[in-house]
Amino acid sequence: ETGVTQSPTHLIKTRGQQVTLRCSSQSGHNTVSWYQQALGQGPQFIFQYYREEENGRGNFPPRFSGLQFPNYSSELNVNALELDDSALYLCASNRKNTGELFFGEGSRLTVL
Amino acid sequence: ELKVEQNPLFLSMQEGKNYTIYCNYSTTSDRLYWYRQDPGKSLESLFVLLSNGAVKQEGRLMASLDTKARLSTLHITAAVHDLSATYFCAVDNYGGSQGNLIFGKGTKLSVKP
């Protein structure tokens, strides 16, 4: 049990739409990171939040945005969806003082 | 730019055999991680290696780290079918925020009877 939960598990959207993915982690996990994993590839870092502020960003356009809330939950928002956004989106959380990164079960997004 | 390369990308093994997966990375990094992923599932943390010469073992899997060679290995001993999965190594993106990992492409392991 990683202590990181994500919702929804699966969703289907059409090109141009917007999507919000959610993640919650336990007390003691002080950062949250989001990753995109395309089929057959390794996960790619999107961004990270620490104390409700963005604290690092990968090579993703501004239409990928996020929020972190005081209750250890987080959102990933993607606007103007493109076909290539179809992927597994993973939320990960650091356990304080160990640096170990735990992943949630992921949200699988299909863009038609 | 930090790059992480794994080899082989595909590995078909017979049960009972030994094999090693290699992970090379291009620049200095503080930590190296190994994860397992089953089809359609998320990433399961296997090992975190923190220093040169670190060796960790869990069951039939053993991971080691040589920071001077920028190389980590994941050794599989006497493989069993349950080890079939994709294995990823990842390193901290040095200079980036904690939790910013660069992953290899993964090694898809298939263990056959």
- The string of pLDDT tens digits covering residues B58-110 is 999 999 999 999 999 999 999 999 999 999 999 988 655 567 899 999 999 99
Is B54 an interface residue toward A (CB < 8 Å)?
Answer: no
pLDDT band at A55 (very low <50, low <70, confident <90, very high): confident
Enumerate the residues of chain B whose CB falls inside 8 A of the CB of residue A94.
98-99
For residue B75, the cross-strand partners are B20, B62
| Choice between A49 and A100, residue whose per-residue pLDDT is larger | A49
- Neighbouring CB atoms inside 10 A of B12's CB total 12
Closest partner residue to B99 (CB to CB) among A42, A44, A94 is A94
Interface test with A, best of B35, B41, B42, B49 (most A CBs within 10 A): B42
Burial B87-103 (b: 16+ CB within 10 A, else e): bbbbbbbeebbbbbbbb
Task: Indicate the average pLDDT of chain A.
Answer: 91
Query: For residue B91, what pLDDT is reported?
Result: 92
Q: Tell me whether B105 touches chain A (CB under 8 Å).
A: yes
Quick one: pLDDT band at residue B17, thresholds 50, 70, 90? very high
Contact yes or no for A100 and B48 at CB 8 A: yes
Q: Quick one: which of A39, A23, A33, A40 has its CA closest to A60?
A: A33
* β-pair partners for A102: A93
Q: Give the closest residue to B30 by CA, choosing from B101, B91, B113, B109.
A: B91
**For residue B102, which residues of chain A lie inside 8 Å, CB to CB?**
45
DSSP letters, B78-101, are S--GGG-EEEEEEEE-TTS-TT-E
Tell me what pLDDT residue B31 has: 84
